Amino acid sequence: MENGYTFFYVEANVVCIIIFAMLLIKDLGGVGRQAKQMIFVNIIAAHIMYFVSDICWVLMLGNMIPHTRLSVSVVNIFNAILLSAITGFWFVYVELSQGEKYITVFRNRIFALIPAMCETLIMLVVFVLFPGVVINGELKLTTAYYILFLVVPIGYIIVSAVRSFIRALRKENYAVRTPYLVCALYPVIISVAGICQVVWVNAPMFCFGCTIIMLYVYIISLNDQVSIDELTRLNNRTQLKKYIVGESSKQGSEKLKRYILMIDLNKFKQINDQYGHVEGDQALKRTADALKVACADNSVKTFIARYGGDEFIIIAKTDNEDLVKELCISIKDTLIRLNDEAGAEYELTASIGYSHYSGDIFAFQTALAKADEALYEDKRARASA
């Protein structure tokens, strides 16, 4: 390998390491990091270590580091372990980011990383006890090495990409698909970058691809912090405003009618007072789940947001008002069912009002007021029943 290219490759990786180090320092300086942020830190750190290991490999190919069986073994063991770690942590990060409850349990996160751990153990055993399987007499890597090197990362990539694409296609996520699509495309893009680097070895495509897409993921995560309600993982009022503005620009092209649904929990204050705010938070999360389930089971296109406190808003697109009425009934029934399944000691019900909405941004407050009025009519009807 020519010295000029070796230095270029090293410089490219060093630049990427600096960028990732800046992200790492920013995240480590955060206060009260949750599991998702901690996993993100692990992803960044694994990338940095992979780039360092990759630099050592290129320096070895350029005869600037002794090219011995030991040095080849150490570098490529680290490459394999780190690539598995990157893709494994990414899978866990995606599941956490997209609200999968099972992955919030620490034990389940460990289970999800078992394939990466197994590959690490297998690589160590093979390199130590059967080195000829992965490195030939000319100190070049064998086909067996690349199979062991790629099998686990490819598995993580396929599973995380497919699951993210499926979530992006769900009706309740149609208005906020970008984060899901980014999570789905990240492993695909770095895989393509890695393949391009193998085919066109003179271009350090892998480190460039990882850095570009990771910066985009970081930007999306920052946007997520300001547009997603942290407790319920629904859209917040900021995202609702953006959605209303976006819908206003579609007035001429959008053929479906729009309806605003206002949802308010009944006697929510009593739940907080009697069972505490922690249980009140659980009730709000359960309500968010009920909204998502009911909207997913309905053919109406919906945008769901937490408006504030125990108030939620759904914007539904349909020409059939009967479907809106069915959605209201489904939300109420689903909320009761989920609360019963959770074994809650209290009753959790909702009142709902809806109103037609033209889509014009200036008509939103008027339509919202009408939906709110209908909601309190529903409350009064429930109280007198």
Domains and CATH numbers, the chain: 3-227 (1.20.1070.10), 237-384 (3.30.70.270)
Are 51 and 207 spatial neighbours (Cβ–Cβ below 8 Å)? yes
d(CA 370, CA 355): 6
Residue type, 41: V
Any idea how long the chain is? 385
Cα–Cα nearest to 223, from 210, 209, 238: 238
Q: Which residues lie below 8 Å from residue 141, measured CB to CB, with a gap of 6+?
A: 72, 76, 134, 135
Q: Specify which residues 264 forms β-bridges with.
A: 311, 351
Phi, psi dihedral angles at 317 (to 5 degrees): -115, 115
Long-range contacts of 24-27 (CB under 8 A, 24+ apart): 24/48
Longest CA span, the chain: 87
Query: What is residue 125's predicted lDDT score, i.e. its pLDDT?
Result: 92
Cα–Cα nearest to 313, from 369, 379, 384: 369
d(CA 156, CA 187): 9
Are 231 and 285 spatial neighbours (Cβ–Cβ below 8 Å)? yes
Element spanning 304, H or E? strand 301-308
d(CA 371, CA 215): 41
pTM, two decimals, is: 0.71
Q: Tokens at residue 147, please?
A: 């199979």
Q: Which residues lie below 8 Å from residue 272, measured CB to CB, with a gap of 6+?
A: 279, 280
Element spanning 329, H or E? helix 321-341
3-state secondary structure of 15: helix
HSE toward the beta carbon, residue 300, CA cutoff 13 A: 31
Query: What is residue 51's predicted lDDT score, i.e. its pLDDT?
Result: 92
Are 75 and 56 spatial neighbours (Cβ–Cβ below 8 Å)? yes
Query: What is residue 118's predicted lDDT score, i.e. its pLDDT?
Result: 93
Location of structure tokens 């709110």: 372
* Residuewise pLDDT in 10s, the chain (385 residues): 566 778 888 898 999 999 999 988 887 766 445 777 888 889 999 999 999 998 888 888 888 888 888 888 888 899 889 989 999 999 998 888 887 888 888 899 999 999 999 999 999 999 989 988 988 888 888 888 888 888 898 899 889 888 988 888 876 666 567 777 877 877 777 777 777 766 665 667 888 888 888 888 888 777 777 788 888 888 888 888 888 888 777 665 566 788 999 999 998 999 998 989 889 999 999 999 999 889 887 778 889 999 989 999 999 988 889 999 999 999 999 999 999 998 989 999 999 999 998 888 888 889 999 999 999 999 888 777 6
Q: Which residues lie below 8 Å from residue 135, measured CB to CB, with a gap of 6+?
A: 69, 72, 73, 76, 127, 141, 142, 145
Cα–Cα nearest to 284, from 303, 311, 314: 311
Query: What is residue 290's predicted lDDT score, i.e. its pLDDT?
Result: 92
Phi, psi dihedral angles at 167 (to 5 degrees): -65, -35
CA distances 250 to 31, 206, 220, 257, 303, Å, are 40, 39, 24, 12, 15
Instruction: To the nearest 10°, report the CA torsion of 204, 206, 210, 213.
Output: 90
Query: What is residue 20's predicted lDDT score, i.e. its pLDDT?
Result: 92
